[in-house]
A and B are shown apart, each in its own frame.
Chain A
Amino acid sequence: MSIAIAEGCCFHCGLPNEEGNKYPVEINNKLHHMCCPGCQAVAQAIVENGLANYYEFRTEPAARGDSALDNTMAQLSVYDEPELQEEFVFDQGKHKQIQLTVEGITCAACGWLIEKQLAKVKGLKQISVNVSARRALVTWDESETKLSGILARLKAIGYASLPFHPDEHEASFKKEQKSYMKKLGLAGIMTMQVMMLAFGQYFDVFGNLDAQTQGYFNAVSLMLTTPVVFYSASVFYLSALKAIQARTVNMDVPVTIAIFSTYIAGLLAVNDGSGEVYFESICMFIFFLLISRFLEHRSRHKATEISSNMLKLIPATASKLVNNDWVSVLAKQLVAGEHVLVKAGESIPIDGKIVKGQSTIDESMLTGEFEPVFKAQGQQVYAGTVNQQANLEIEVTSQLKFAMMNQILRLQEVALARKPKIAKMADTFSRYFVSIVLMISALTYIYWHLQDSTDAFWITISVLVATCPCALGLATPSALTCAMAKLNKLGILLKRADALEQMTNATDIIFDKTGTLTQGKFSIQQIHMLSDKYSQDYVMQLATFIEKRSEHPIAKAFDYGFDAHDFQLEDYQITIGQGVLAKVNGNLVVVGSKRFIKSQLNNAEVCDTINANVYIAINHEIVAAFLITDTVLPETQKVISELNDYSLCILSGDEQKNVNNIATEIGINRAVGEQTPEGKLNYVQQEQAKGKSLIMLGDGINDAPVLAAADVSVAVGNASDLAKNAADVILINPKLNALVDLISMAKRTKTKIKQNIIWALSYNVIVLPFAVMGLLSPWQAALGMSLSSIIVVYNSTRLMR
């Protein structure tokens, strides 16, 4: 049952080994190769803990290991703070209990691995892993181990876990789910019993039964049916009652009438000892209807479960200045006027002004653009952005709840509330259908009653049961459930099942640029050699040698190999945000922007004639120029070409010029640049006002409001948590190809739903005349209805193939 990993692919995560066989691990006496240090460390930890059998048991490859393991480990100690634990740890006297969301669970073997690994932690009392929900419930003894220790153990074997809070919505869903299960189970078991007795009577298994035995059988059936009618079917009565109170009808109204009248007629018949009973039909009818409700509920439950896994608690901490000393506190406790220290590489915990120091700041999470911004004393910095170069002292200007980031969050909430609602096809449909059914039943009863038929009552019941739109009710949920399961396997998570239905109505697809269509990191596009004195090879080596020391993201584009012995560095000066001045082997080398080069050299006019943004000069002579931009993801082109049925548009926060470049490169006609999160939101709402239906793809925090507003929103791989939270669909693979799969699946699902509805309706229409003419007895009607439902479900499961 273990899976086969292809040659040249990582034995742990299954991704290709791009760096060759650099990271070997011996597993079960055989040498295997991993793709990265992260996977290697994880595999090593698994083997060292005697859990190598995981690799035999698993049915899916693992998630990729985290290379920055030590760094994340250090941050875990935050979770031991009592203020923080208050929010999500349940105190059970001696022990503490917590729910964790665990990332990276791919198959049942992961559950086994986690439980085995954690069972070794001293002081851990209980652990249970839920593989389908990707969660773990942990109980531990605080005196023997710490929460951070448990999280660290999980991290070591490759699972990132975070405390979380199931939201109210989910808690109520869970309660309902359990109640459905009980009702369904009861109905199922009882149906079997009643059916057994009924079969005995129908097919004369016991020979000719005398009246007394018949009466006995009926009484027993009545007794078994009673809990089904009053407990299992209560969902229908409540829903019918609600509909009637709202002065409308729904599917449950005829269902309730049919169940109650059949039951009461049966009750009277048992009491009198004469007349017909249809207890087995009632039970079967309720059982099948419950199955459809249960399926529908479960598909919605799954979706909320996924979305609440996204709501992770990542507490921001800050070091605050108290009596000339830095103390670690929670960011939400900070108030205006306090001073906070932010070290290089840390994220800024709160909105504030810089009072000491200067640095470049990565604001990509707010603006979507990865080019860092240079900020000095007196300038405003925002919570959630990352300080890249130097330590900063910040004076807090507003509390965390008023931070820019939380404003975006509020914008998202507002947008979500205004999101266009879909009219559910089956819902409106069944309302008309039900009204007609009720009318026909009434007419049938009146007609047969006037004919003085003793069967008038049973014929009416047959009409109600035969035309029960049960299969119609199953048509949509069963198809959506199957489509969701299939998409899950393809690495596409659906948070809202009906997003699939909406997707097929979409007219436009809007893309965010950075991170969605492009890689979100710089690479060298063009090299212009401007001097014959040096070879290109030498210049590239020199540039790489110098830029390796810089933290600027443009510098990372230089990754040419070099031999360190060739270069002797004597002097090195960085001008933040502009360039580098260095002395290598006695030569003065300048690498930097056009402005920097011009300020350093006198004869730099040549810069103006070339399409480039980074220059290198040796001994006051410009030798080469580079065009360094963000590159389009390799699969983007292909995906775009497959989407020509839609009108496409790029919506970005980047400069209009850059957006236009990318748009022409991949062949998208419309490109809108320089948009703030509000601007993006306005654009989408304007388009929606024109009657367009939009699919929006994005990844950054700045995309969150617009994702919430779009008819269907898709968060692409590596998206920020906020974007994932706002989106309807999450692509787990960082590849855009999944979008094509998603759209084609949406279309298939729509066809399937239509097929199901047509089948369900035509069955009802065909069977109706027979029922009205009195040719159908209630048990035949119930059987037909069930068969029709089973056909619908079977048709839907074909989507899973």
Chain B
Amino acid sequence: MSIIYVLIPLAIIIVAIAIGVFFWAVRNNQFDDLERQGYSILFDDDVESKEKDKNEQKAASDKIDE
């Protein structure tokens, strides 16, 4: 059981760090807009490269057809 004398203080340090990070995030307006950020991962940044991929795929499949 004596391990808890080490683990609990360790856990408290981690919690303290987590709280520090949370406070930093609040101070830096990270929670200002909760609607948008959830979507940002879904938006592709580059239309061109997507089309390029398609073209390459098409070229590849054309080759196979040949």
Contacts and interface: CB of A to CB of B under 8 A. Distances in A.
B5 A216 contact: yes
B31 A181 contact: yes
B44 to A, nearest CB: 6
Interface string A190-224: 10010001000000001000000100100010011
Nearest to B27: A178
A109 B47 contact: no
Nearest to A190: B15
B63 interface: no
Contacts of B22: 182, 185-186, 189
Nearest to A193: B15
Interface string B1-41: 10011001001100100110011001100011111101110
A563 B27 CA distance: 67
A774 to B, nearest CB: 33
A189 B19 CA distance: 8
Given A111-B36, A112-B39, A132-B36, A206 B15 contact: no
Contact of A57 (B1, B32, B35, B42): B42
Interface residues of B, number: 27
B48 interface: yes
Contacts of B47: 50-53
Contacts of B34: 132
A133 B33 contact: yes
Nearest to B40: A112
Identify whether the interface residues of B are mostly helix, strand, loop, or mixed: helix
A450 interface: no
Nearest to B38: A108
A178 B26 contact: yes
B4 A213 contact: yes
Contacts of B39: 57, 108-109, 112
A189 B11 CA distance: 12
A1 interface: yes
A619 interface: no
Contacts of B35: 108, 131-132
B18 A189 contact: yes
A771 to B, nearest CB: 33
Interface string A94-107: 00000000000000
A129 B43 contact: no
Given A53-B47, A57-B42, A178-B27, A224 B33 contact: no
Given A178-B26, A186-B19, A1 B42 contact: yes
B31 A108 contact: no
Nearest to A178: B26
Given A57-B43, A213-B4, A224 B12 contact: yes
Contacts of B26: 178, 181-182, 185
A669 interface: no
A51 to B, nearest CB: 8
Interface in B39-66: 39-40, 42-44, 47-48
A111 B35 CA distance: 10
Given A213-B1, A213-B4, A220-B12, A130 B33 contact: yes
Contacts of B43: 53, 57, 109, 112
Q: What are the 6 A-B residue pairs with the smallest beta carbon separation, nearest first?
A: A108-B39, A131-B36, A130-B33, A108-B36, A111-B36, A112-B43
21 contacts: A50-B47, A50-B48, A52-B47, A108-B39, A111-B36, A129-B33, A131-B33, A131-B35, A131-B36, A132-B32, A132-B34, A132-B36, A133-B32, A178-B27, A185-B19, A185-B26, A189-B19, A189-B22, A190-B15, A193-B15, A223-B12
Given A108-B39, A132-B34, 4 more contacts: A1-B42, A50-B47, A108-B40, A178-B27
